[in-house]
Each structure stands twice: as C-alpha cells, then as structure tokens.
Amino acid sequence: MTPDVARISDLVREVAAEEILPRFRRLSAEDVREKRPGNLVTTADLASEARLINGLAAIAPDATVVAEEMAEADLAGVLGRLSGEAPVWVIDPVDGTANFAKGKEDFAVIVAYVERGRTRVGLIYEPARDRLTVAEEGGGAWQDGTRLAVAGRIPLTEMTGSLGYKLRYDPNVTTQVGSLLTLKSAGCEHVALSSGRFHFSLYRRSWPWDHAAGVLIHREAGGYSAALDGAPYSPSGAPEQGLLLAPDRDSWQRLHDLVLPALRR
C-alpha cells in the first residue's frame, strides 16, 4: 500500500511554512555556504531535510531515506539504498538552492516514494507560489486539484525547453528547436513539462532527488522520458545515464537524434 498522499502534502507544506519561507529573502551570509564549487547549501536545506526525514518516517516507518544533503557524506552508500528491498523516501529539501539564495521564486521541495526501483508517489511543492503538483502511479498527475497534461505534438522548431548549459550555445542544436529556457530547478522544470509549458528538458545527470518524483508526474501527465541510452529511467539507475523528457516517444526520438551528436562533440 502506498503512503497517504494527503499526509505527505500536509507535511511538505508545514515544513516549507516553518523552515523554508521564513528564511526566503532573509538569509544572512552565515546561512549560505558552498559545499562544492558552485554548489550551495543553506540553513533552510538542512532544517527542511531533517524535518522531512522525521515526518516521513512517521508516515512510512519501514522506509529508508535517500536525501540530497545526507548523500554529501556518503554518496555511494546512500544511493545504494535504492537497490535494496526496503521502500525509500527520496528527498530534495530545497531544489534550486541557488535561486532560493538569490531570492528567486524558482525553487521546490521534492519528495518521492520508491519501491524496488519504481516511483510510486511523486510530489513537487513550490513554496513561493504555494503550488503543489503530485502523482500516484496509475492515477494521473494533478496540480492543486486540476489534472495535468503535457504539451501536444508540434515540430521541433516550435518547441520550448531546456537543454543545459553546453547545448544552449551550439548552433547545430539551437537552430533546430524553438525557445531555450532554464529555470535552474529540476523540480520547477518538471512542473513546467507536466503542465505543458515546456516541451522538453535534457539532463546530463539524473540524480534521484532531482528526478524520481518529476519523471513519474511527467509520465502520469502523458509524457515520455528515458535515459540518454534509451533505457527506461529508474531512480536506482546510474546518474551518469542522463535523462531526456518530451511530450511523446516520437518527439523524444527526434530530440535524441539532434542532441546526442552534439553532446559527444
């Protein structure tokens, strides 16, 4: 039995209201540090993660946890939990930390519930917009009570999406697609994909805390996604496989054929 989505949603809203939003646009210099060059963590990330871990344990006590900040200390060990028999909570306490630290609204809390490599429940909450997007496997994708659907099929030259830093400046690619945008938050981009505002998005790394929930939501909204080698996405897969999302399989293949040679150059 999958966990109660309403309880997860209530917990995430509560944690955002008490740990994230009070710090939004109020961070001091001491509240922000670089955990790696160009990669920030804030007191909101750490406080939110701790609260979510404790709260989710009460909802599904038999589940273990994979969370972004805890993985800093033992990446291989933490990711290895996704290959075990126990169900797993996958958590990104503040996705888009750089945006959050700059006072920009494109950040999200991401929670997924994974069993044996399959995401059963995915939730993305954008606190600055009070916008909640959720999916249960087989139950469709929903945003605040409205069912979501991906964008319809159109030519590549009319599509809007994100291709990452490298391909944004490759004329062999940019002339073949429409508008290129980046929200600098995988969670917010998954919401844009699942609601039809984005057509595609490419990720060179498919970290589970960034994508486990979003891939499920996108699929339940009618979209198609796969690793860059064509294999089905799994939260337990190697992050180096990358990830490409599109409205449908044919669009995915056309995008894949366009971007893969550019990535190899």
115 phi/psi in degrees, rounded to 5 = -125, 120
pLDDT of residue 52: 98
Question: Do residue 139 and residue 196 come from a single domain?
Answer: no
pLDDT in tens, 202-260: 999 999 999 999 999 999 999 999 999 999 999 999 999 999 999 999 999 999 999 99
Counted domains in the chain: 2
Residue at a domain's end among 120, 147, 174: 147
| pLDDT higher than threshold 90 for residue 264 | no
Question: Do residue 110 and residue 199 come from a single domain?
Answer: no
261 to 50, 173, 240: CA distances (angstroms): 42, 10, 17
Question: Do residue 164 and residue 143 come from a single domain?
Answer: no
Question: Do residue 190 and residue 224 come from a single domain?
Answer: yes
**Helix/strand number for the chain, H first, E second:** 10, 13
Question: Do residue 253 and residue 205 come from a single domain?
Answer: yes
Residue at a domain's end among 147, 171, 196: 147
What is the CATH number for 168? 3.40.190.80
Question: Do residue 184 and residue 134 come from a single domain?
Answer: no
Question: Do residue 37 and residue 77 come from a single domain?
Answer: yes
For 203, the enclosing helix (H) or strand (E) is strand 200-203
pLDDT in tens, 39-61: 999 999 999 999 999 999 999 99
Question: Do residue 11 and residue 130 come from a single domain?
Answer: yes
Question: Do residue 141 and residue 175 come from a single domain?
Answer: no
What is the CATH number for 65? 3.30.540.10
pLDDT in tens, 126-139: 999 999 999 999 99
pLDDT of residue 36: 86
| pLDDT higher than threshold 90 for residue 169 | no
CB 151 within 8 A of CB 221: no
Does the pTM surpass 0.95? The reply is yes
Question: Do residue 97 and residue 164 come from a single domain?
Answer: no
Question: Do residue 107 and residue 219 come from a single domain?
Answer: no
| pLDDT higher than threshold 90 for residue 166 | no
pLDDT of residue 168: 84
- Alpha-helix runs per DSSP H in the chain: 5-15, 43-59, 68-71, 75-80, 97-101, 164-167, 171-174, 186-194, 208-220, 249-264
Report the C-alpha gap between 137 and 152 in whole angstroms: 22
- Domain extent for 37: 5-147
pLDDT in tens, 83-119: 999 999 999 999 999 999 999 999 999 999 999 999 9
Question: Do residue 30 and residue 75 come from a single domain?
Answer: yes
Residue at a domain's end among 94, 125, 147: 147
